[in-house]
Amino acid sequence: MANNTFTEENFTKLKEVIAKNKDKQGALIPVLNEAQKIFGCLPIEVQKEISKGLNMPLAEIYGVVTFYAQFSLEPKGKYTIGVCLGTACYVKGSQKVLDRIKEELNIEVGKTSRDGKFTLEATRCIGACGLAPVMTINEDVYGRLVASDIPSILQKY
């Protein structure tokens, strides 16, 4: 974990963001967005600060953080792998591709590999159905995948 992101300086920045948004309607989402930019993720310590600052129950904040895919409790890996589970990709076997990645990296969806290199995510249609099944690794797009393609692709990173 990149502990150096949890500095006093960053917590000060967070407090400023909270102060700025506090009296606005629907302050939570913008504050969470900013907080995630500052810290790279939204662990409980950060949520507690937001709960205090916005005077909202921690459980409510936790609910929002875990509901929206854009928020993450843990720091993300250097590379984010997104496997599309949209209909076209699913029909063409993206679940098998996803399972193979889980096996290769020994992680579940939403988690980051122990070396901090890869975060695995399942996504909705990314608009490249013609290439189904599709996965992305950061900006790179891979299409017409079969499970056996996975090891050599991962090796490139």
Told to check if 122 binds ligand FES by CB under 6 A, we report no
Looking at this protein, which amino acid is placed at residue 96? Answer: K
Task: Name the residue among 47, 9, 6 with its Cα closest to residue 28.
Answer: 47
Maximal CA-CA distance, the chain = 53
Stretch that binds ligand FES, among 15-23, 28-36, 83-91, 98-106 (CB under 6 A): 83-91
Among 41, 83, 105, 128, binds ligand FES (CB under 6 A): 128
Sign of the dihedral through C-alpha 32, 38, 41, 47:
negative
Which part of the chain contacts ligand FES (CB under 6 A), choosing from 63-71, 105-113, 114-122, 127-135?
127-135
Q: Is 88 in the site for ligand FES (CB under 6 A)?
A: yes
Residue 137 CB, shortest distance to ligand FES, in Å, is 15
42, 97, 105, 132: which one binds ligand FES (CB under 6 A): 132
Shortest Å distance, C-beta 139 to ligand FES: 16
- Residue with Cβ nearer ligand FES (73 or 122): 122
Kindly give the pairing relationship between strand 79-84 and strand 118-123. Answer: parallel
Pick 33 or 95: Cβ nearer ligand FES: 95
Q: Determine contact, residues 47/86, Cβ cutoff 8 Å.
A: no
Tokens representing 20 are 């700025």
Four-point Cα dihedral 121, 125, 128, 130, nearest 10: 120
